[in-house]
Chains A and B, each alone.
Chain A
Amino acid sequence: MFHLILFLFFGAICVAGAVNLLVQSHPINSALSLIVVMGSLAAEYLLLGAEFLAAVQVIVYAGAIMVLFLITIMLLNAGKEERTKGSRVAILIGVPGVTIGAVLVAWTLVGPSSTTHSVSIGALWGSPADIARLLFHDFLLPFEVTSVLILIAIMGAVVLASKPEAVARGPRKDEG
Protein backbone atom coordinates (compact mmCIF):
# COMPACT_ATOMS: atom_id res chain seq x y z
CA MET A 1 0.00 0.00 0.00
CA PHE A 2 2.73 2.41 1.05
CA HIS A 3 4.69 1.44 -2.04
CA LEU A 4 1.77 2.04 -4.37
CA ILE A 5 1.13 5.51 -2.91
CA LEU A 6 4.83 6.42 -3.21
CA PHE A 7 5.00 4.99 -6.71
CA LEU A 8 2.00 7.03 -7.86
CA PHE A 9 3.37 10.13 -6.10
CA PHE A 10 6.73 9.96 -7.90
CA GLY A 11 4.99 9.03 -11.14
CA ALA A 12 2.89 12.18 -10.87
CA ILE A 13 5.99 14.28 -10.17
CA CYS A 14 7.72 12.70 -13.17
CA VAL A 15 4.84 13.52 -15.53
CA ALA A 16 4.46 17.02 -14.08
CA GLY A 17 8.19 17.62 -14.61
CA ALA A 18 7.97 16.42 -18.19
CA VAL A 19 4.99 18.69 -18.93
CA ASN A 20 6.74 21.62 -17.23
CA LEU A 21 9.82 20.93 -19.38
CA LEU A 22 7.73 21.62 -22.49
CA VAL A 23 5.70 24.50 -21.10
CA GLN A 24 8.55 26.61 -19.65
CA SER A 25 9.91 29.25 -21.99
CA HIS A 26 13.27 29.68 -20.28
CA PRO A 27 15.90 27.00 -21.12
CA ILE A 28 17.23 26.91 -17.52
CA ASN A 29 13.78 26.10 -16.13
CA SER A 30 13.34 23.40 -18.77
CA ALA A 31 16.70 21.86 -17.86
CA LEU A 32 15.77 21.90 -14.17
CA SER A 33 12.45 20.18 -14.98
CA LEU A 34 14.42 17.48 -16.80
CA ILE A 35 16.48 16.97 -13.62
CA VAL A 36 13.23 16.53 -11.69
CA VAL A 37 12.12 13.91 -14.26
CA MET A 38 15.44 12.05 -13.90
CA GLY A 39 15.28 12.20 -10.10
CA SER A 40 11.70 10.91 -9.87
CA LEU A 41 12.54 8.15 -12.39
CA ALA A 42 15.35 7.11 -10.05
CA ALA A 43 12.86 7.01 -7.18
CA GLU A 44 10.57 4.79 -9.30
CA TYR A 45 13.44 2.39 -10.04
CA LEU A 46 14.19 2.28 -6.32
CA LEU A 47 10.56 1.43 -5.53
CA LEU A 48 10.69 -1.37 -8.13
CA GLY A 49 13.71 -2.89 -6.39
CA ALA A 50 16.36 -1.85 -8.91
CA GLU A 51 18.58 -0.06 -6.39
CA PHE A 52 21.74 -0.09 -8.46
CA LEU A 53 19.94 1.29 -11.51
CA ALA A 54 18.44 4.06 -9.36
CA ALA A 55 21.84 5.07 -8.00
CA VAL A 56 23.43 5.04 -11.44
CA GLN A 57 20.51 7.06 -12.84
CA VAL A 58 21.17 9.79 -10.26
CA ILE A 59 24.97 9.72 -10.53
CA VAL A 60 25.21 9.61 -14.32
CA TYR A 61 22.13 11.42 -15.62
CA ALA A 62 21.10 13.83 -12.88
CA GLY A 63 24.59 14.37 -11.44
CA ALA A 64 26.83 14.53 -14.51
CA ILE A 65 25.04 14.83 -17.85
CA MET A 66 22.51 17.42 -16.70
CA VAL A 67 25.30 19.48 -15.10
CA LEU A 68 26.89 19.70 -18.55
CA PHE A 69 23.53 20.71 -20.07
CA LEU A 70 23.19 23.40 -17.43
CA ILE A 71 26.73 24.68 -17.95
CA THR A 72 26.15 24.91 -21.69
CA ILE A 73 22.92 26.87 -21.23
CA MET A 74 24.63 29.19 -18.74
CA LEU A 75 27.65 29.77 -20.99
CA LEU A 76 25.48 30.56 -24.02
CA ASN A 77 23.32 32.71 -21.71
CA ALA A 78 20.30 31.57 -23.71
CA GLY A 79 17.37 33.91 -23.18
CA LYS A 80 13.64 33.33 -23.21
CA GLU A 81 12.26 31.59 -26.24
CA GLU A 82 9.57 33.09 -28.40
CA ARG A 83 6.21 31.39 -28.46
CA THR A 84 4.78 30.24 -31.80
CA LYS A 85 1.26 29.10 -32.48
CA GLY A 86 2.52 25.63 -33.42
CA SER A 87 2.06 23.89 -36.72
CA ARG A 88 -1.35 22.73 -37.95
CA VAL A 89 0.04 19.27 -38.83
CA ALA A 90 1.07 18.73 -35.20
CA ILE A 91 -2.40 19.62 -33.93
CA LEU A 92 -4.31 17.62 -36.56
CA ILE A 93 -2.20 14.45 -36.66
CA GLY A 94 0.20 14.61 -33.68
CA VAL A 95 -2.27 15.07 -30.83
CA PRO A 96 -4.70 12.28 -31.88
CA GLY A 97 -1.72 10.03 -32.66
CA VAL A 98 -0.17 10.53 -29.22
CA THR A 99 -3.55 9.97 -27.55
CA ILE A 100 -4.10 6.68 -29.41
CA GLY A 101 -0.54 5.54 -28.61
CA ALA A 102 -0.95 6.34 -24.91
CA VAL A 103 -4.28 4.48 -24.76
CA LEU A 104 -2.76 1.44 -26.50
CA VAL A 105 0.21 1.33 -24.11
CA ALA A 106 -2.07 1.75 -21.08
CA TRP A 107 -4.41 -0.99 -22.39
CA THR A 108 -1.57 -3.46 -22.86
CA LEU A 109 -0.14 -2.74 -19.43
CA VAL A 110 -3.23 -2.60 -17.21
CA GLY A 111 -5.99 -4.00 -19.42
CA PRO A 112 -7.82 -7.32 -18.72
CA SER A 113 -5.38 -9.43 -20.77
CA SER A 114 -2.18 -8.04 -19.19
CA THR A 115 0.21 -10.30 -17.33
CA THR A 116 1.98 -7.55 -15.34
CA HIS A 117 1.77 -7.32 -11.58
CA SER A 118 3.39 -5.22 -8.86
CA VAL A 119 6.65 -6.08 -7.11
CA SER A 120 8.25 -5.00 -3.86
CA ILE A 121 11.79 -3.89 -3.00
CA GLY A 122 14.25 -6.76 -3.35
CA ALA A 123 11.83 -9.02 -5.27
CA LEU A 124 13.47 -8.33 -8.61
CA TRP A 125 16.73 -9.71 -9.85
CA GLY A 126 19.00 -6.66 -10.07
CA SER A 127 21.61 -6.47 -7.33
CA PRO A 128 25.01 -4.96 -8.23
CA ALA A 129 26.51 -8.46 -8.31
CA ASP A 130 23.90 -9.72 -10.80
CA ILE A 131 24.39 -6.73 -13.08
CA ALA A 132 28.18 -7.07 -12.86
CA ARG A 133 27.95 -10.77 -13.81
CA LEU A 134 25.84 -9.85 -16.84
CA LEU A 135 28.10 -7.00 -17.94
CA PHE A 136 31.51 -8.54 -17.32
CA HIS A 137 30.74 -12.20 -17.99
CA ASP A 138 27.71 -12.95 -20.15
CA PHE A 139 27.80 -9.83 -22.30
CA LEU A 140 31.48 -8.94 -22.02
CA LEU A 141 32.12 -8.53 -25.76
CA PRO A 142 29.12 -6.25 -26.53
CA PHE A 143 29.96 -4.22 -23.40
CA GLU A 144 33.59 -3.69 -24.42
CA VAL A 145 32.67 -2.98 -28.04
CA THR A 146 30.20 -0.33 -26.86
CA SER A 147 32.88 1.32 -24.73
CA VAL A 148 35.26 1.43 -27.72
CA LEU A 149 32.42 2.92 -29.78
CA ILE A 150 31.93 5.68 -27.18
CA LEU A 151 35.69 6.31 -27.16
CA ILE A 152 35.66 6.74 -30.94
CA ALA A 153 32.71 9.14 -30.62
CA ILE A 154 34.64 11.22 -28.05
CA MET A 155 37.72 11.35 -30.30
CA GLY A 156 35.53 12.37 -33.22
CA ALA A 157 33.98 15.16 -31.15
CA VAL A 158 37.43 16.43 -30.16
CA VAL A 159 38.58 16.47 -33.79
CA LEU A 160 35.41 18.23 -34.95
CA ALA A 161 35.53 20.81 -32.16
CA SER A 162 39.20 21.77 -32.43
CA LYS A 163 40.44 24.23 -35.05
CA PRO A 164 41.90 22.54 -38.15
CA GLU A 165 45.34 24.19 -37.81
CA ALA A 166 45.56 23.05 -34.17
CA VAL A 167 45.08 19.43 -35.29
CA ALA A 168 47.74 19.76 -38.00
CA ARG A 169 50.22 21.33 -35.54
CA GLY A 170 49.83 18.61 -32.93
CA PRO A 171 49.48 19.08 -29.17
CA ARG A 172 50.54 22.39 -27.69
CA LYS A 173 53.98 22.51 -26.12
CA ASP A 174 53.26 25.11 -23.42
CA GLU A 175 50.64 23.08 -21.59
CA GLY A 176 50.88 22.19 -17.93
Chain B
Amino acid sequence: MSITTFIIISIIKSVAVVGVLLTAVAYSVWLERKVSAHIQNRWGPTRVGPFGLLQPLADGVKFIFKEDLTQPHVYKPLYIAAPIIAVVFAITSISVIPFGNWVEIGPWGTYLQITDLNIGLLVVLGITSMGVYGVALAGWSSNNKYSLLGAMRASAQMVSYEVSLGLSLVGVVIMAGSLSLRTIVDAQGGVFWGFIPRWNIFHGQTLGFFVYLISAYAETNRTPFDLPEAESELVAGYHTEYSAMKFAMFFMAEYANMVTVACLATLMFLGGWHGPIAGPLILRDIEPVIWFCLKVFFFMFLYVWVRWTLPRFRYDQLMAFGWKVLLPLAVANIVYTALVVALRA
Protein backbone atom coordinates (compact mmCIF):
# COMPACT_ATOMS: atom_id res chain seq x y z
CA MET B 1 0.00 0.00 0.00
CA SER B 2 1.49 3.36 -0.98
CA ILE B 3 1.76 6.15 1.57
CA THR B 4 -0.91 8.24 -0.21
CA THR B 5 -3.51 5.44 -0.10
CA PHE B 6 -2.59 4.82 3.51
CA ILE B 7 -3.12 8.46 4.45
CA ILE B 8 -6.40 8.69 2.49
CA ILE B 9 -7.76 5.49 4.08
CA SER B 10 -6.67 6.66 7.53
CA ILE B 11 -8.38 10.03 7.10
CA ILE B 12 -11.59 8.38 5.88
CA LYS B 13 -11.55 5.96 8.82
CA SER B 14 -10.85 8.72 11.37
CA VAL B 15 -13.63 10.97 10.06
CA ALA B 16 -16.09 8.07 9.97
CA VAL B 17 -15.23 6.84 13.46
CA VAL B 18 -15.36 10.31 15.05
CA GLY B 19 -18.65 11.00 13.25
CA VAL B 20 -20.18 7.78 14.52
CA LEU B 21 -18.80 8.41 18.01
CA LEU B 22 -20.27 11.93 18.22
CA THR B 23 -23.65 10.67 16.94
CA ALA B 24 -23.50 7.88 19.51
CA VAL B 25 -22.74 10.47 22.19
CA ALA B 26 -25.73 12.60 21.16
CA TYR B 27 -28.05 9.60 21.12
CA SER B 28 -26.76 8.29 24.47
CA VAL B 29 -28.09 11.52 25.95
CA TRP B 30 -31.42 10.85 24.26
CA LEU B 31 -31.31 7.23 25.50
CA GLU B 32 -30.54 8.37 29.03
CA ARG B 33 -33.47 10.84 29.06
CA LYS B 34 -35.87 8.34 27.51
CA VAL B 35 -34.95 5.36 29.72
CA SER B 36 -34.81 7.41 32.92
CA ALA B 37 -38.24 8.82 32.06
CA HIS B 38 -39.70 5.35 31.58
CA ILE B 39 -38.10 4.13 34.83
CA GLN B 40 -39.86 7.02 36.59
CA ASN B 41 -43.14 6.41 34.74
CA ARG B 42 -42.85 9.51 32.52
CA TRP B 43 -42.58 9.92 28.74
CA GLY B 44 -39.31 11.80 28.31
CA PRO B 45 -38.70 13.82 25.12
CA THR B 46 -41.64 13.38 22.69
CA ARG B 47 -42.07 16.74 20.93
CA VAL B 48 -39.14 17.01 18.52
CA GLY B 49 -39.53 14.38 15.82
CA PRO B 50 -40.99 10.88 16.26
CA PHE B 51 -40.28 9.57 19.81
CA GLY B 52 -38.28 12.78 20.37
CA LEU B 53 -35.55 11.39 18.10
CA LEU B 54 -34.51 14.84 16.86
CA GLN B 55 -34.07 16.12 20.43
CA PRO B 56 -30.21 15.85 20.34
CA LEU B 57 -30.22 18.10 17.26
CA ALA B 58 -32.41 20.66 19.00
CA ASP B 59 -30.18 20.49 22.08
CA GLY B 60 -27.09 21.07 19.94
CA VAL B 61 -28.63 24.13 18.31
CA LYS B 62 -29.64 25.43 21.73
CA PHE B 63 -26.10 25.00 23.11
CA ILE B 64 -24.62 26.87 20.16
CA PHE B 65 -26.97 29.85 20.39
CA LYS B 66 -27.00 30.24 24.18
CA GLU B 67 -25.09 33.14 25.68
CA ASP B 68 -21.55 32.08 26.52
CA LEU B 69 -20.96 33.62 29.94
CA THR B 70 -17.42 34.03 31.26
CA GLN B 71 -17.32 35.20 34.86
CA PRO B 72 -14.88 38.04 35.62
CA HIS B 73 -13.21 36.08 38.44
CA VAL B 74 -12.03 33.08 36.39
CA TYR B 75 -8.45 32.42 35.26
CA LYS B 76 -9.22 32.77 31.59
CA PRO B 77 -6.55 30.76 29.68
CA LEU B 78 -7.17 27.57 31.67
CA TYR B 79 -10.92 28.22 31.93
CA ILE B 80 -11.09 28.05 28.13
CA ALA B 81 -8.55 25.24 27.76
CA ALA B 82 -10.16 22.87 30.29
CA PRO B 83 -13.24 21.80 28.26
CA ILE B 84 -11.05 21.45 25.16
CA ILE B 85 -8.63 19.16 27.02
CA ALA B 86 -11.52 17.08 28.36
CA VAL B 87 -13.20 16.57 24.99
CA VAL B 88 -9.99 16.03 22.98
CA PHE B 89 -8.71 13.21 25.20
CA ALA B 90 -12.19 11.67 25.42
CA ILE B 91 -12.45 11.47 21.62
CA THR B 92 -8.81 10.46 20.95
CA SER B 93 -9.09 7.34 23.07
CA ILE B 94 -11.39 5.75 20.45
CA SER B 95 -8.49 5.61 17.94
CA VAL B 96 -7.23 2.12 18.80
CA ILE B 97 -10.62 0.47 19.43
CA PRO B 98 -11.32 -2.29 16.85
CA PHE B 99 -14.97 -2.49 15.74
CA GLY B 100 -14.82 -5.51 13.49
CA ASN B 101 -12.77 -7.80 11.36
CA TRP B 102 -11.00 -7.39 8.04
CA VAL B 103 -13.29 -5.98 5.28
CA GLU B 104 -12.63 -5.52 1.58
CA ILE B 105 -14.17 -2.84 -0.60
CA GLY B 106 -13.05 -3.25 -4.19
CA PRO B 107 -9.24 -3.42 -4.35
CA TRP B 108 -8.73 -1.99 -0.86
CA GLY B 109 -8.98 -3.96 2.35
CA THR B 110 -8.76 -2.65 5.88
CA TYR B 111 -9.37 -3.59 9.48
CA LEU B 112 -12.33 -1.79 11.02
CA GLN B 113 -10.07 0.14 13.38
CA ILE B 114 -8.22 3.43 12.94
CA THR B 115 -4.90 1.87 13.92
CA ASP B 116 -3.71 -1.35 15.52
CA LEU B 117 -0.86 -0.98 18.00
CA ASN B 118 0.76 -3.80 19.92
CA ILE B 119 0.24 -1.71 23.07
CA GLY B 120 -3.34 -0.68 22.19
CA LEU B 121 -4.69 -1.31 25.67
CA LEU B 122 -2.01 0.87 27.29
CA VAL B 123 -2.76 3.65 24.81
CA VAL B 124 -6.43 3.69 25.85
CA LEU B 125 -5.48 3.70 29.55
CA GLY B 126 -2.89 6.43 28.99
CA ILE B 127 -5.20 8.73 27.09
CA THR B 128 -8.09 8.29 29.51
CA SER B 129 -5.73 9.00 32.42
CA MET B 130 -4.95 12.38 30.82
CA GLY B 131 -8.68 13.26 30.81
CA VAL B 132 -8.53 14.06 34.51
CA TYR B 133 -6.69 17.31 33.69
CA GLY B 134 -9.79 18.73 32.00
CA VAL B 135 -11.81 18.25 35.16
CA ALA B 136 -9.07 19.38 37.58
CA LEU B 137 -8.23 22.54 35.63
CA ALA B 138 -11.90 23.42 35.12
CA GLY B 139 -12.48 23.32 38.86
CA TRP B 140 -9.41 25.32 39.75
CA SER B 141 -9.64 27.98 37.04
CA SER B 142 -13.31 28.68 37.82
CA ASN B 143 -12.19 30.22 41.13
CA ASN B 144 -15.33 28.97 42.84
CA LYS B 145 -15.37 26.78 45.95
CA TYR B 146 -18.00 24.38 44.64
CA SER B 147 -16.02 23.92 41.43
CA LEU B 148 -12.79 23.38 43.32
CA LEU B 149 -14.38 20.84 45.69
CA GLY B 150 -15.85 18.99 42.71
CA ALA B 151 -12.51 18.97 40.90
CA MET B 152 -10.69 17.71 44.01
CA ARG B 153 -13.18 14.89 44.44
CA ALA B 154 -13.02 14.03 40.75
CA SER B 155 -9.22 13.93 40.57
CA ALA B 156 -8.80 11.89 43.75
CA GLN B 157 -11.55 9.49 42.67
CA MET B 158 -10.26 9.07 39.11
CA VAL B 159 -6.65 8.51 40.21
CA SER B 160 -7.75 5.97 42.86
CA TYR B 161 -10.09 3.94 40.69
CA GLU B 162 -7.66 3.95 37.75
CA VAL B 163 -5.52 1.56 39.81
CA SER B 164 -8.19 -1.11 40.18
CA LEU B 165 -9.41 -0.46 36.62
CA GLY B 166 -5.95 -1.15 35.21
CA LEU B 167 -5.31 -4.16 37.46
CA SER B 168 -8.70 -5.75 36.62
CA LEU B 169 -7.60 -5.89 32.96
CA VAL B 170 -4.29 -7.66 33.72
CA GLY B 171 -6.04 -11.04 34.01
CA VAL B 172 -7.30 -10.73 30.43
CA VAL B 173 -3.84 -9.64 29.24
CA ILE B 174 -2.26 -12.70 30.90
CA MET B 175 -4.77 -14.99 29.19
CA ALA B 176 -4.32 -13.47 25.74
CA GLY B 177 -0.57 -12.92 26.15
CA SER B 178 -0.79 -9.61 24.33
CA LEU B 179 -1.62 -5.94 24.85
CA SER B 180 -3.03 -5.57 21.33
CA LEU B 181 -6.81 -5.23 21.46
CA ARG B 182 -7.21 -7.14 18.19
CA THR B 183 -5.23 -10.15 19.49
CA ILE B 184 -7.22 -10.09 22.74
CA VAL B 185 -10.49 -10.27 20.79
CA ASP B 186 -9.15 -12.96 18.44
CA ALA B 187 -8.27 -15.10 21.48
CA GLN B 188 -11.95 -15.12 22.46
CA GLY B 189 -13.37 -16.78 19.33
CA GLY B 190 -15.11 -20.17 19.38
CA VAL B 191 -17.43 -21.88 21.88
CA PHE B 192 -17.34 -24.30 24.85
CA TRP B 193 -19.48 -27.47 24.55
CA GLY B 194 -21.07 -26.13 21.40
CA PHE B 195 -23.10 -23.28 22.87
CA ILE B 196 -21.26 -21.19 25.52
CA PRO B 197 -19.10 -18.52 23.80
CA ARG B 198 -15.40 -18.48 24.76
CA TRP B 199 -15.66 -14.90 25.99
CA ASN B 200 -13.41 -13.99 28.88
CA ILE B 201 -16.35 -13.34 31.19
CA PHE B 202 -17.25 -17.07 30.93
CA HIS B 203 -13.59 -18.08 30.86
CA GLY B 204 -12.38 -17.40 34.39
CA GLN B 205 -12.51 -13.58 34.27
CA THR B 206 -15.93 -13.08 35.90
CA LEU B 207 -14.39 -11.41 38.96
CA GLY B 208 -12.18 -9.23 36.75
CA PHE B 209 -15.25 -8.21 34.76
CA PHE B 210 -17.18 -6.99 37.79
CA VAL B 211 -14.16 -5.16 39.25
CA TYR B 212 -13.69 -3.49 35.85
CA LEU B 213 -17.36 -2.56 35.58
CA ILE B 214 -17.51 -0.94 39.03
CA SER B 215 -14.19 0.90 38.56
CA ALA B 216 -15.34 2.10 35.15
CA TYR B 217 -18.45 3.67 36.69
CA ALA B 218 -16.25 5.54 39.16
CA GLU B 219 -13.75 6.47 36.45
CA THR B 220 -16.46 8.12 34.32
CA ASN B 221 -17.99 9.86 37.38
CA ARG B 222 -21.36 8.15 36.96
CA THR B 223 -23.89 7.26 39.65
CA PRO B 224 -23.44 5.71 42.21
CA PHE B 225 -20.02 7.42 42.17
CA ASP B 226 -21.01 10.84 40.78
CA LEU B 227 -19.77 12.78 43.82
CA PRO B 228 -17.78 15.29 41.73
CA GLU B 229 -21.07 16.74 40.51
CA ALA B 230 -23.33 15.84 43.42
CA GLU B 231 -25.99 18.49 42.81
CA SER B 232 -27.39 18.36 46.34
CA GLU B 233 -24.06 19.48 47.84
CA LEU B 234 -21.95 21.09 45.10
CA VAL B 235 -24.45 22.82 42.73
CA ALA B 236 -22.87 21.14 39.66
CA GLY B 237 -19.31 20.45 40.77
CA TYR B 238 -16.45 21.26 38.45
CA HIS B 239 -18.63 22.67 35.64
CA THR B 240 -20.70 25.04 37.82
CA GLU B 241 -19.33 28.17 36.08
CA TYR B 242 -19.62 26.85 32.53
CA SER B 243 -22.42 27.60 30.11
CA ALA B 244 -23.38 27.12 26.46
CA MET B 245 -20.93 25.22 24.25
CA LYS B 246 -18.21 24.97 26.92
CA PHE B 247 -20.64 23.13 29.19
CA ALA B 248 -21.71 20.99 26.24
CA MET B 249 -18.07 19.99 25.71
CA PHE B 250 -17.86 18.58 29.24
CA PHE B 251 -21.12 16.78 28.57
CA MET B 252 -19.73 15.34 25.33
CA ALA B 253 -16.51 14.29 27.08
CA GLU B 254 -18.44 12.45 29.78
CA TYR B 255 -20.57 10.51 27.29
CA ALA B 256 -17.61 9.84 24.96
CA ASN B 257 -15.74 8.39 27.94
CA MET B 258 -18.77 6.22 28.70
CA VAL B 259 -18.74 4.92 25.11
CA THR B 260 -14.98 4.18 25.28
CA VAL B 261 -15.33 2.34 28.57
CA ALA B 262 -18.24 0.33 27.17
CA CYS B 263 -16.18 -0.52 24.04
CA LEU B 264 -13.29 -1.64 26.22
CA ALA B 265 -15.58 -3.83 28.36
CA THR B 266 -16.95 -5.40 25.17
CA LEU B 267 -13.47 -6.06 23.77
CA MET B 268 -11.88 -7.35 26.96
CA PHE B 269 -14.66 -9.44 28.47
CA LEU B 270 -17.52 -9.97 26.00
CA GLY B 271 -15.58 -11.17 22.96
CA GLY B 272 -15.67 -7.95 20.91
CA TRP B 273 -17.29 -8.57 17.53
CA HIS B 274 -17.64 -12.36 17.99
CA GLY B 275 -21.16 -13.73 17.73
CA PRO B 276 -23.26 -16.12 15.63
CA ILE B 277 -22.83 -15.30 11.94
CA ALA B 278 -25.19 -16.47 9.22
CA GLY B 279 -26.70 -15.43 5.91
CA PRO B 280 -25.29 -14.36 2.54
CA LEU B 281 -21.68 -13.24 2.09
CA ILE B 282 -22.41 -9.51 2.11
CA LEU B 283 -24.12 -9.76 5.50
CA ARG B 284 -21.19 -11.69 6.97
CA ASP B 285 -19.04 -8.57 6.75
CA ILE B 286 -21.59 -6.43 8.59
CA GLU B 287 -22.79 -8.84 11.27
CA PRO B 288 -19.65 -8.64 13.48
CA VAL B 289 -20.04 -4.85 13.64
CA ILE B 290 -23.69 -5.27 14.61
CA TRP B 291 -22.73 -7.69 17.40
CA PHE B 292 -20.14 -5.19 18.64
CA CYS B 293 -22.68 -2.33 18.62
CA LEU B 294 -25.29 -4.43 20.44
CA LYS B 295 -22.84 -5.25 23.23
CA VAL B 296 -21.81 -1.61 23.58
CA PHE B 297 -25.49 -0.62 23.61
CA PHE B 298 -26.06 -3.11 26.43
CA PHE B 299 -23.40 -1.36 28.55
CA MET B 300 -24.81 2.09 27.76
CA PHE B 301 -28.27 0.88 28.81
CA LEU B 302 -26.76 -0.59 32.00
CA TYR B 303 -25.25 2.82 32.84
CA VAL B 304 -28.68 4.46 32.77
CA TRP B 305 -30.34 1.58 34.55
CA VAL B 306 -27.82 1.69 37.41
CA ARG B 307 -28.06 5.48 37.62
CA TRP B 308 -31.77 5.39 38.41
CA THR B 309 -31.54 2.34 40.66
CA LEU B 310 -28.69 2.94 43.11
CA PRO B 311 -28.24 5.91 45.48
CA ARG B 312 -25.01 7.88 45.71
CA PHE B 313 -22.08 6.75 47.91
CA ARG B 314 -20.66 8.90 50.70
CA TYR B 315 -17.16 10.15 49.89
CA ASP B 316 -15.29 8.19 52.59
CA GLN B 317 -17.24 5.06 51.59
CA LEU B 318 -16.19 5.64 48.01
CA MET B 319 -12.50 5.83 48.86
CA ALA B 320 -12.64 2.90 51.30
CA PHE B 321 -14.48 0.80 48.69
CA GLY B 322 -11.90 1.57 46.02
CA TRP B 323 -8.79 0.88 48.06
CA LYS B 324 -9.96 -1.76 50.54
CA VAL B 325 -12.37 -3.85 48.43
CA LEU B 326 -11.78 -3.41 44.70
CA LEU B 327 -7.97 -3.26 44.81
CA PRO B 328 -7.51 -6.53 46.80
CA LEU B 329 -10.11 -8.24 44.57
CA ALA B 330 -8.26 -7.11 41.43
CA VAL B 331 -4.92 -8.35 42.82
CA ALA B 332 -6.53 -11.67 43.84
CA ASN B 333 -7.83 -12.02 40.28
CA ILE B 334 -4.32 -11.48 38.87
CA VAL B 335 -2.78 -14.08 41.23
CA TYR B 336 -5.51 -16.62 40.45
CA THR B 337 -5.28 -16.11 36.68
CA ALA B 338 -1.48 -16.26 36.70
CA LEU B 339 -1.52 -19.49 38.72
CA VAL B 340 -4.06 -21.17 36.42
CA VAL B 341 -2.20 -20.08 33.27
CA ALA B 342 1.16 -21.18 34.72
CA LEU B 343 -0.20 -24.59 35.80
CA ARG B 344 -1.76 -25.24 32.38
CA ALA B 345 1.37 -24.26 30.45
Residues of A that sit less than 8 Å from B by CB: 28, 32, 35, 51-52, 55-56, 58-59, 62-64, 67-68, 70-71, 74-75, 127-128, 175-176
* Nearest 4 CB-CB pairings of A with B: A63-B129, A55-B122, A58-B126, A59-B126
Q: How far is the CA of A32 from the CA of B122 in the complex (A)?
A: 22
In the complex where A55-B126, A63-B129 touch, is A71 in contact with B117 (Cβ < 8 A)?
no
| Across-interface contacts of A67 in B (CB, < 8 A) | 132-133, 136, 155, 159
> Cα distance A127–B178 when bound, in Å?
11
8 A Cβ contacts from B130-166 to A: 130, 132-133, 136-137, 139-140, 148, 151-152, 155-156, 159, 162, 166
Q: Once the chains bind, are B122 and A70 in contact (CB under 8 Å)?
A: no
Inter-chain contact B159/A175, CB cutoff 8 Å: no
Residues from chain A with a CB closer than 8 A to the CB of B123 are 55
A68 and B152 CA atoms in complex are apart in Å by: 11
**For the complex, is B84 an interface residue (Cβ under 8 Å from A)?**
no
| B152 partner residues in chain A, CB cutoff 8 A | 71, 74-75
Output the least CB separation between B149 and chain A (Å). 11
Q: A51-B117, A59-B122, A74-B148 are in contact. Are A28 and B78 (CB under 8 A)?
A: yes
Number of A-B contacts (CB under 8 A): 66
Residue B290 interfacial (CB < 8 Å): no
Determine if B320 is an interface residue (Cβ-Cβ < 8 Å).
yes
Q: Which residues of B contact A52 (CB under 8 A)?
A: 119, 122
Cβ A70 vs Cβ B129 within 8 A: no
**Chain A residues whose C-beta falls within 8 Å of the C-beta of B133 in the assembled complex:** 35, 67, 70
CA distance A59 to B132 in the complex (A): 12
From known contacts A64-B159, A64-B162, A74-B140, infer whether A127 and B148 are also in contact, taking CB-CB under 8 Å.
no
Residues on B with beta carbons closer than 8 Å to the beta carbon of A59: 122, 125-126, 129, 166
Residues from chain B with a CB closer than 8 A to the CB of A32 are: 78, 137
**Contact across chains for A58 and B159 when beta carbons are under 8 A apart:** no
- The distance from the CB of A133 to the nearest CB of chain B, in whole angstroms, is 13
- What residues of A have a CB within 8 angstroms of the CB of B129 in the complex? 58-59, 62-64
Given contacts A32-B137, A51-B117, A74-B148, 17 further A-B contacts (CB under 8 A): A28-B140, A32-B78, A51-B119, A55-B123, A55-B126, A56-B122, A58-B127, A59-B166, A62-B126, A63-B126, A63-B129, A64-B129, A67-B136, A67-B159, A74-B136, A128-B119, A176-B316
Contacts of B119 in A (CB 8 A): 51-52, 55, 128
Which of B156-181 touch A at CB < 8 Å? Answer: 156, 159, 162, 166, 179
